[in-house]
Structure 1
Amino acid sequence: MIGRTDFTDRTAFDSKGLDELKQSARNNSPDAIKGAAQQFEALFMNMMLKSMRQAGGQDGVFDSEQSRMYTSMLDQQLSQTMAKKGVGLADVLVRQLSNNAMNQALEADTGGSPGNPASSASVRGINTYLDNLKFEQMPASAPKTAFTGPNHVREFQEKLTAHAEQASQETGIPAKFMLGQAALESGWGRREIKTADGSSSHNIFGMKATKGWKGKTVDAVTTEYVNGVAQRRVEKFRAYDTYADAFKDYAKLITKNPRYENVIANSKDASSFAQGLQKAGYATDPEYANKLTKIIKNSLST
């Protein structure tokens, strides 16, 4: 047996807290069932709060992707506080989990530890329950969205929105703006830069392999504008193992390179963001800002 662990102050959907709950279950902690039930009650309360906000509408003057993200975080913490006081659901779940564990122990031919067959069955039941709970959780930074538009646009957003939301937290740039830029650079993922064997380089932002780049590279044909005239040339581009790595590298570039200070400062609207990127020299296409603004405003789900 390990010592008593206080799970009541955990933030809602805390994955570390859920892992500790599972560890407590493996060590036969009497708090494991109670903690699992309380986390589920917090999840239930969060769903209620989310439904109430959606019913009330969120399209106000001050509504933005950032405000919705922080509202979601607030709801998660409120749900945890409400679950701590309890609405009765956790008590019902405690009784159910306890009964299920005992029934498994009584029915099992083997698997119970010597002298305490209920112990092993209880651990299996609680951990299965916690696995399901962890699967159901939604991170505050990436709430589910019903994407609209053509199939290729919906698929693009579904694949990359979570990464864009994470990069948004690091840069302060709305996720929608970064998705728009990734869409422009890659043709909604249909013109992604490929490696020599035909696999994806995951370079969704068209990031070139500059002198300071120490990672993998790939050669690709690109269009550059010199004095307004388009020219085709072969350039070295960065290659990543995952799209998450591509968004992390993009976030690093935007936040660390002094060239892009004004991009972050002027990312309150799509047009300013796009114009800032062009002025900073992200792309040589003279129509880059206009193209990006149109994608952000007209093609992406809000």
Structure 2
Amino acid sequence: MDLKPRQEVLDCNLIKRSKLVEVKGVPLIINTATNWGHLWAFKARPEDLLICTYPKAGTTWIQEIVDMVQHGGDPQKCARAPIHERMPFTDLFPPKPMTSGLEDAEAMPSPRTLKTHLPVQLLPPSFWVQKCKVIYMARNAKDNVVSYFHFHRMNQGMPEPGNWDQFLQDFLAGKVACGSWFDHVRGWWEAKDRHPILYLFYEDMKEDPAREIQKVAQFLSIELTEPVLKRIEQNTTFEIMKANPMTNYSTIPSSFLDQTVSPFMRKGGPGDWKEHFTVAQSEQLDDVCARKLEGSGLTFHTQL
């Protein structure tokens, strides 16, 4: 991604709060919806690895872990470029002359590691045809919605979030970008029985990172020695990544991501939802969760 025109565009204040437009019943950022034909026609390659999450479910964390695993835990190799350049975000269509994530992906040689936030039913069909491996990371709904709320506050290209209570109600109704969290986590959970998908949980990664990193390595058919595993674990802690300009999005101008409003990497742990939810809100989300995930076998931990 060429940051020179990006910087120029962002400094010209062309980044504006976005609107949502439905694509096949799922609300998406208007620029993504406008370019839907191009995205749906994207040509995946057999060697592609796709990282998928609902927004703010530990996406950057799992991206950095994957890059570390692929590069033998070498921090220098992983510092070759900011994370959004190493792993293009296929659903991102910023204002011209900035390149889209799709264009960045198409220009990248194989093997590619790509990122998406799309629900399973909107994934471009070529990924299924090519039998691409997918790593999916899910995070409990309470922490996920809190993180997504603060992301809306600081990301000047996202829709206005309104106040916390309004945003929570929109989230519960699936009226936010990428739609219903419940449909998203359940759709990908059910898809793992039919496709090569490694389904991970944010809370498991927090609880035992070495165990979960090994799952990633095994899924990618990569053997990790104990010293390499330890190095990956150390270099992908929240504290290290929050201070790392290659992962903390500090290379993106503040006219786009205003980190004075809220840091891109804010808290990074389970349980912060307790600072935001009322008892009634917590019970409401629990009720919706029980109803929407019933019979799926999916369970989430809201604290460790």
Question: Shorter-normalised TM-score: what interval?
Answer: under 0.3
TM-score (norm 1): 0.21
User: Rg: which structure is higher?
Assistant: 1
TM-score (norm 2): 0.20
